[in-house]
Amino acid sequence: MEQIIIILACFLLSSAIFVFWVAKGGFNKKYLYTDNLLLGSAGSILTILVHRILPIPFWVVVPFVSGFIILILFVLLFFYRFFRNPSRIIPGGPDDLVSAADGRVIYIKELEVNQMPVTVKKMRIAELSEITKTDLLERPCYLIGIAMTLFDVHMNRSPLDGKITFIKHTPGTAIGLNTPSSTVTNERNTVIIERADGIKTGIVQIAARGVRRCIVTANVGDPVKRGEIIGKIRWGSQLDMILPRNSEILVREGEQVYAGRTVIAKLSGNHDNSGRK
DSSP, residue by residue, 55-82: ---HHHIIIIIHHHHHHHHHHHHHHHHH
Number of Cβ atoms within 10 Å of the Cβ of 109: 16
The residue from 44, 66, 237, 247 that is catalytic is 237
Parallel, antiparallel or unpaired: strands 162-170 and 223-224: antiparallel
Instruction: Cis check for the bond before 94: say yes or no (omega within 30 of 0).
Output: no
- In the residue annotation, 237 being an active-site residue is answered as yes
66: buried, middle or exposed (CB in 10 Å: 19+, 13-18, 0-12)? Answer: buried
Residue among 112, 113, 187, 98 nearest 146 (CA):
98
d(CA 274, CA 228): 24
* In 112-267, beta strands by DSSP E: 118-121, 124-127, 141-148, 155-157, 162-170, 188-194, 200-206, 214-216, 223-224, 229-233, 237-244, 247-249, 256-257, 263-267
Catalytic residues: 237
